[in-house]
């Protein structure tokens, strides 16, 4: 029996999200080797790794099949709430199998783990260097959140302010 999880967070609500992500994970396995995403300050492999996942400016994607890089703006970085969860779902839909970042919160990590996406933390320096450290087995996998929930809130957006 598959246990159901219902995630509700601010304006974000998912019905049967767990089953959806399980079927999505199976689809990714069937499609072949997934992409590696690195949270970044720019679109290039020469840009710096961003320590935030949900509110990073860009993601640099690395395709292990072709060895090519591509950059894409994070569409959820300016959300008033739910940036980590929405970003995690966005990455799952982009056929990402591994994420390299500095920190990950509890809700984003739960979504990523449910989707079968591996998260590695302590990435610093350039995107290219973080990828090389990952490929050489030098990064630590995240099995627990590295920051408390709502860590990356923008100033002035906290409740009661």
Cβ(24)–Cβ(97) below 8 Å: no
Say how many Å lie between the first and final Cα of the chain, rounded.
44
Confidence band, pLDDT 50/70/90 cuts, at residue 34 = very high
User: What is the predicted pLDDT for the residue at 21?
Assistant: 47
Burial class (CB within 10 angstroms; exposed 0-12, middle 13-18, buried 19+) of 81: middle
Compute CA distances 151 → 13, 90, 144, whole Å: 20, 19, 15
Domains of the chain: residue spans and CATH = 8-141 (3.30.420.130)
pLDDT at 147: 84
* The predicted structure's pLDDT at residue 150: 60
Q: What is the pLDDT of the chain when averaged over all its residues?
A: 80
pLDDT in tens, 81-137: 889 999 999 999 999 999 999 999 999 999 999 999 999 987 779 999 999 999 999
**Band of residue 80 on the pLDDT scale cut at 50, 70, 90:** confident
Quickly tell me which residue has 């779902």 as its tokens.
89
What confidence score (pLDDT) does residue 148 get?
Answer: 81
Tokens, residue 70: 């591509």
Confidence label for 146 from pLDDT (cuts 50, 70 and 90): confident
Helices and strands in the chain: count of H runs, count of E runs: 4, 8
Residue % of the chain over a pLDDT of 90: 61
What's this model's pTM, rounded to 2 decimal places? 0.74
- For position 8, what pLDDT does the model report? 41
């Amino acid at each position: 029996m598959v246990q159901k999880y219902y995630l509700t967070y601010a304006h974000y609500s998912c019905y049967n999200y767990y089953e959806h992500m399980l079927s999505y994970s199976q689809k990714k396995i069937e499609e072949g080797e997934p992409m590696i995403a690195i949270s970044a300050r720019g679109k290039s492999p020469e840009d710096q790794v961003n320590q935030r996942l949900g509110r990073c400016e860009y993601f640099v994607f690395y395709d292990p099949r072709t060895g090519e890089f591509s950059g894409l703006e994070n569409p959820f970085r300016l959300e008033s709430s739910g940036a980590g969860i929405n970003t995690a779902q966005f990455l799952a839909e982009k056929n990402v199998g591994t994420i390299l970042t500095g920190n990950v919160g509890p809700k984003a990590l739960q979504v990523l783990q449910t989707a079968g996406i591996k998260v590695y933390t302590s990435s610093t320096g350039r995107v290219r260097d973080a990828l090389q450290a990952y490929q050489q087995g030098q990064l630590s996998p995240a099995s627990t959140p590295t920051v408390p929930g709502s860590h990356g809130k923008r100033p002035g957006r906290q409740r009661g302010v």
